């Protein structure tokens, strides 16, 4: 298995109840998994745990045969090689589009960086926007920059937190198609969080449904929905 | 790869530096605590028998009266400006902050200069109106005068906090009350006062902390309070143990103010939970009411800004030839470099502590954050005593090292240098820098640094590449706020300055105390101009951010 999540349990410091209880799932390389559930159900928390932004109470996280977390391991976020697209994208406002994408390319020389940035811009179809600032882009364009930025360092897995929540409803179907084609082209193992069944149907290979921190169902798209 | 599992970020240089900074802040206060129960001496018995009652009564009178009047003026002005439209309202809205730019000690001697026998008021009545009134009617050098000065020059704290609360939070409630056909004053008493209780109490407690910190006004007016007593026991009697006892009593008063604030605020916090922020639509006043509102605002603004400023300008024209010389440039230079050094130091410390606190949700970060803002509620005189005691004892322990470096070295090195002043300023004003930086971090949130970390950057690199560039407005605001406070600061500077070291503030105080009121006007005006410039800068930054 490429990603193995075992008995993941988590509680926020200031809350009484556990946000996640014994969450388990597996993924093959290149699969797209969707975590479906109501808001406040702990969906985004799973992503934050995989990224290393929160520490689980117990359980284990294995990505690409490397232990990210278990009872005596905790790999800090910058060492995990996990890409994340935040709900409101978190594009650095003081950097242009190409600088944002270049940000994570620390191990390359200047020329290699430029080549990679161009590849990414092509992938998300924003070649002409490289020297714009984030606030000069539409919501959909910002999202594509965020995806490009997360994919640029070639992460082992891409995490997307509610990728459609900030977009107009009438744009949604178009952007779903775009996202699907980007993810397929990149061939990246991805996990995305959503509360909308339509998102799941049009993009995911696999689904995990979550309610109040516990998994209700999980499996192939056609088995679950 | 066993890492600190319970902390998602490993212990770092950030934590270490924060710890050192916080320790420095708390050390002098601890020192005072350790000396509270030292065996009292003769001075203490003398003070306890004959003077202590006066100190306590005077302090209580000042606190209660100042609290009462600032509350009334601050709240009514906030309500007028937030809920009504009348001529010149737009100007008053920001101009009513201006009294804060005049330090209270400058206000005190200026008003004394206006009202004393040779001042403009009595001369006018004597020479122009041919009225011979008893000068005692014009004597403001009393507790009443102190309260007047504090009220007129500190009310903007209440005004600012209450107004911004009313403008942002209360629209729906006030409009509802209006729809229920309640009149203006009715709404004010039954709706505005209760809902803005938290804001009013918060502003008033700031005023009272300033009043308790004050030394300049009470000493100039000859009113005996804890601050003046601490100074006297320290300077005239050289008696630290009594000074510490007085300082600790003053601290108790501060705690009472802070606890009362907590209690009066109750469970009501500044902000309401509704996410919708809609500004209140002001009602247009007409006729007599409009004129009344205009006059009320104008008279407060005149007393708190226009009159003193005109008087100071007049005096400065009379004396600038005498004052502006090479020596004066030296005082100015002292003020500027001291303020810059301390402001930079405070901003760096604030950034370190605030960044540590925001990436660690551990209880330690809460403690650090509380300690960092503690200094502002401790009166200058108390901090001064703590810092002196600490530095003298450090010096005594370091004598060996001093002598090894320079065999003719004196025993007291740190405690006679400007280092002590820098240290004390840092403790007292760290809160101001820290709060500016903290609110800057709050504004940008965690998502950008989290994004940076998932892209392979550690805490420190993330800080320099992502957080710092986005924090620019907060850094500038924090710097400006601290800078002004230090240019204005009086009590700490008076106690802790090295021999013969003067700043604009101490020079102002010396001139005024030596009955050279006119001469004090130039340094005063410079201090006021610096304050106005910084308020303008903050206003610009805020406007830019809003856009």
| Domain architecture of chain B: domains with CATH | 55-220+268-312 (1.10.3720.10)
> What is the mean predicted confidence (pLDDT) over B394-410?
81
What pTM, to 2 d.p., does this model score? 0.84
**Residue B5's closest chain A neighbor by CA?**
A74
| Per-chain mean pLDDT for chain B | 85
Residue B457 to chain A, least CA–CA distance (Å): 5
Q: Give the pLDDT of residue B339.
A: 94
Q: B283-284 and B84-85: which strand pairing?
A: parallel
**d(Cα B133, Cα B119) in Å, to the nearest integer?**
14
A86 touches chain B (CB under 8 A): yes
Question: What would the pLDDT profile of B268-317 be if each residue is shown by its tens digit?
Answer: 544 444 445 567 778 888 889 999 999 999 999 999 999 999 999 999 99
> Is-contact B417 A65, C-beta < 8 A?
no
| C-alpha separations of A80 from A68, A75, A156, B185, B356 in Å | 7, 6, 9, 62, 22
Out of B7, B454, B466, name the one closest to residue A77 (CB). Answer: B454
CA dist., res. B16 & res. B302, Å (int): 50
Query: How many other CB atoms are found less than 10 A from the CB of residue A38?
Result: 12
Nearest by CB: B454 against A13, A83, A88: A83
pLDDT at A61 (0 to 100)? 95
Instruction: Assign B266 a pLDDT band (cuts: 50, 70, 90).
Output: low
Structure tokens that stand for B51 in this block: 């003077």
Query: b/e per residue, B50-59, with b = 16+ CB within 10 A?
Result: eebeebeebb
Strand-strand pairing, A3-10 and A20-27: antiparallel
B455 and A13 within 8 Å at the Cβ level: the answer is no
Q: What confidence category does residue B108 fall into, taking pLDDT thresholds of 50, 70 and 90? A: very high
Quote the tokens at residue B152. 């007129």
Give Cα B167 distance to the centre of its chain: 24
The per-residue pLDDT for A121 is 93
One DSSP character per residue, A64-103 reads TTEEEEETTEE--GGGS-EEEE-TT----TTS-HHHHHHT
∠ CA(B198), CA(B203), CA(B206), 5° rounding? 125
The residues of B whose Cβ lies within 8 A of any Cβ of A are 1-10, 361, 447-448, 450-458, 465-466, 469-470
CB B436 within 8 A of CB B471: no
DSSP states along B305-355: IIHHHHHHHHHHHHHHHHH-SHHHHHHHHHHHHHHHHHHHHHHHHHHHHHH
CB proximity list for B159: less than 8 A, separation 6 or greater: B73, B74, B75, B77, B78, B81, B96, B97, B203
The alpha carbon of residue B492 and the mean position of all alpha carbons in its chain are separated, in whole angstroms, by 13
Which residue in the set A54, A90, A104 is minimally distant from B456, CB to CB?
Answer: A104
Among the partner-chain residues A55, A86, A153, the one whose CB lies closest to the CB of B456 is A153
Residue in A53, A100, A101 to test binding to B, most B beta-carbons within 10 Å: A53
Residue holding tokens 């290149």?
Answer: A30
> B interface mutation test: which of A78, A91, A148, A149 has the most B CBs within 10 A?
A78
The tens digit of pLDDT for each residue in B368-378 reads 888 888 888 88
Predicted pLDDT at B267:
56
Phi, psi of A190, deg, nearest 5: -135, 150
Model confidence pLDDT, tens digit, residues B111-145:
999 988 778 888 888 888 887 777 777 788 899 99
Per-position pLDDT tens, chain A of length 225? 899 999 999 988 778 888 999 999 999 999 999 999 888 788 999 999 999 999 999 999 999 989 999 988 999 998 999 999 998 899 999 999 999 999 999 888 999 999 999 999 999 989 999 999 999 998 889 999 999 999 999 999 999 998 888 777 777 888 888 888 988 888 899 999 998 888 898 889 999 999 888 998 888 888 887
Question: Which chain B positions have a beta carbon within 8 Å of A92's beta carbon?
Answer: 448, 451-452, 466, 470
Cα distances (Å, whole numbers) of residue A221 to A31, A200, A225: 11, 8, 6
| pLDDT value for B11 | 58
Residue B99 to residue B301: CA distance in whole angstroms:
7
Split at pLDDT 50, 70, 90, the class of B5 is: very low
CB contact, 8 Å: A78 with chain B?
A: yes
pLDDT computed for residue B75 by the predictor: 93
Please answer yes or no on whether A74 and B454 come within 8 Å at the CB atom: no
Beta bridge partners of B528: none
pLDDT at B2 over 50: no
Residues of chain A neighbouring B14 (CB-CB closer than 8 A): none
Q: Residue A60: helix, strand or coil by DSSP?
A: strand
Of A74, A75, A153, the CB nearest to B455: A153
Joined tokens for residue B321: 């030839």
Q: Does A92 touch chain B (CB under 8 A)?
A: yes
Subunit contact B454:A90, Cβ cutoff 8 A: no
- A contact residues 146-205, partner B, Cβ 8 Å cutoff: 149-150, 153
Structure tokens of B246?
């007085």
Percentages helix, strand, coil for chain B, rounded to the nearest 5? Answer: 80, 0, 20
- Identify all chain A residues contacting B448, using CB atoms and an 8 Å cutoff: 90, 92
Cβ(B449)–Cβ(B467) below 8 Å: yes
**Consecutive H or E run containing A194:** strand A189-194
pLDDT at position B278 is 66
Inter-chain CB proximity B8 and A92 less than 8 Å: no
Indicate the residue of A51, A92, A93 with minimum beta-carbon distance to B454: A51
Q: In what order do the strands lie in the sheet with A82-85?
A: A82-85, A157-161, A189-194, A32-37, A206-211, A214-220
Mean pLDDT of B411-439: 87
Q: Is A96 on the interface with B (CB under 8 A)?
A: no
Contact residues, chain A, for B454 at CB < 8 Å: 51-53, 77-78, 80, 82-84, 150
- Listing DSSP states for A126-175 in one string gives -GGGTTS-GGGS-HHHHHHHHHHHHHTT--SEEEEESTTTTS-HHHHHHH
CA–CA dist B141, B59 (Å, integer): 15
Please check whether residue B110 is in contact with residue B216, taking contact to mean a CB–CB distance below 8 angstroms.
no
Predicted pLDDT at B40: 81
The fraction of chain B above a pLDDT of 90, given in percent, is 35
């Amino acid at each position: 298995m490429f990603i193995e999540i075992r008995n993941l349990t988590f509680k926020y410091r200031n809350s009484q109840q556990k946000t996640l209880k014994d969450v388990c799932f597996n993924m093959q390389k290149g699969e797209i998994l969707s975590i479906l559930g109501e808001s406040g159900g702990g969906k985004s928390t799973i992503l934050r745990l995989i990224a290393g932004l929160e520490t689980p109470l117990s359980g284990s996280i294995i990505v690409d045969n490397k232990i990210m977390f278990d009872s005596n391991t905790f790999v800090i976020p910058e060492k995990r090689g996990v890409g994340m697209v935040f709900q409101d994208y978190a594009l650095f406002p003081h950097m242009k589009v190409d600088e944002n994408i270049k940000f994570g390319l620390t191990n390359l020389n200047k020329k290699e960086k430029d080549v990679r940035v161009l590849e990414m811009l092509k992938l998300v179809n924003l070649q002409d926007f490289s020297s714009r600032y984030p606030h000069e882009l539409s919501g959909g364009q910002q999202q594509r920059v965020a995806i490009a930025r997360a994919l640029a360092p070639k992460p082992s897995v891409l995490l997307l937190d509610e990728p459609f929540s900030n977009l107009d409803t009438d744009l949604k179907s178009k952007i779903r198609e775009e996202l699907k084609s980007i993810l397929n082209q990149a061939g990246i193992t991805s996990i995305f969080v959503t509360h909308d069944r339509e998102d799941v149907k049009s993009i995911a290979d696999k689904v995990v449904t979550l309610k109040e921190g516990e998994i209700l169902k999980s499996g192939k798209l056609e088995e679950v929905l | 790869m066993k890492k600190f599992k319970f902390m998602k970020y490993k212990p770092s240089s950030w934590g270490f530096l924060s710890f050192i900074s916080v320790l420095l802040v708390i050390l002098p206060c601890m020192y005072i605590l350790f000396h509270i129960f030292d065996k009292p001496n003769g001075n203490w018995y003398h003070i306890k028998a004959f003077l202590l009652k006066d100190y306590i009564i005077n302090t209580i009178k000042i606190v209660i009266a100042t609290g009462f009047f600032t509350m009334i003026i601050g709240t009514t002005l906030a309500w007028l400006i937030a809920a009504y439209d009348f001529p010149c309202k737009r100007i008053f809205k920001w101009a009513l902050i201006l009294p804060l730019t005049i330090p209270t000690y400058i206000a005190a001697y200026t008003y004394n200069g206006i009202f004393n026998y040779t001042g403009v008021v009595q001369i006018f009545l004597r020479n122009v109106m041919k009225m011979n009134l008893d000068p005692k009617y014009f004597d403001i050098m009393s507790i009443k005068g102190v309260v007047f000065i504090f009220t007129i020059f500190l009310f903007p704290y209440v005004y600012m906090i209450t107004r911004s609360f009313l403008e942002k939070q209360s629209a729906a409630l006030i409009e509802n009350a209006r729809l229920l056909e309640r009149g203006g004053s009715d709404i004010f008493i039954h709706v505005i006062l209760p809902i803005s209780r938290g804001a009013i109490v918060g502003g008033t407690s700031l005023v009272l902390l300033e009043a308790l910190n004050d030394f300049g006004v009470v000493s100039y007016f000859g009113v005996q309070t804890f601050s003046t007593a601490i100074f006297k026991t320290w300077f005239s009697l050289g008696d630290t143990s009594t000074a510490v006892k007085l300082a600790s009593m003053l601290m108790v008063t501060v705690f009472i103010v802070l606890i009362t604030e907590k209690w009066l605020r109750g469970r009501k916090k500044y902000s309401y939970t509704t996410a919708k922020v809609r500004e209140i639509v002001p009602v247009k006043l007409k006729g007599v009411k409009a004129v009344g509102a205009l006059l009320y605002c104008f008279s407060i603004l005149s007393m708190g800004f226009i009159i003193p400023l005109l008087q100071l300008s007049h005096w400065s024209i009379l004396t600038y030839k005498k004052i502006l010389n090479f020596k004066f440039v030296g005082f100015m230079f002292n003020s500027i470099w001291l303020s810059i050094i301390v402001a930079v130091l405070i901003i760096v410390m604030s950034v370190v502590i605030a960044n540590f606190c925001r990436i660690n949700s551990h209880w330690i970060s809460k403690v650090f954050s509380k300690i960092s803002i503690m200094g502002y509620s401790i009166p200058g005189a108390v901090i001064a005593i703590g810092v002196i005691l600490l530095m003298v004892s450090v010096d005594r322990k370091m004598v060996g090292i001093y002598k090894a470096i320079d065999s003719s070295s004196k025993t007291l090195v740190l405690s006679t240098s400007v280092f002590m002043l820098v240290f004390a300023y840092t403790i007292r004003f760290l809160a101001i820098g820290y709060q500016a930086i903290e609110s800057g971090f709050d504004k940008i949130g965690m998502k950008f640094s989290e994004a940076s970390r998932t892209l392979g950057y550690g805490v420190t690199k993330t800080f320099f590449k992502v957080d710092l560039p986005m924090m620019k407005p907060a850094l500038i605001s924090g710097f400006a706020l601290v800078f002004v406070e230090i240019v204005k600061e009086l009590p700490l500077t008076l106690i802790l300055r090295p021999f013969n070291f003067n700043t604009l503030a101490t020079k102002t105080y010396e001139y005024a105390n030596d009955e050279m009121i006119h001469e004090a006007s130039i340094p005063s005006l410079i201090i006021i101009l610096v304050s106005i410039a910084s308020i303008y800068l903050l206003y610009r930054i805020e406007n830019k951010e809003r856009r």
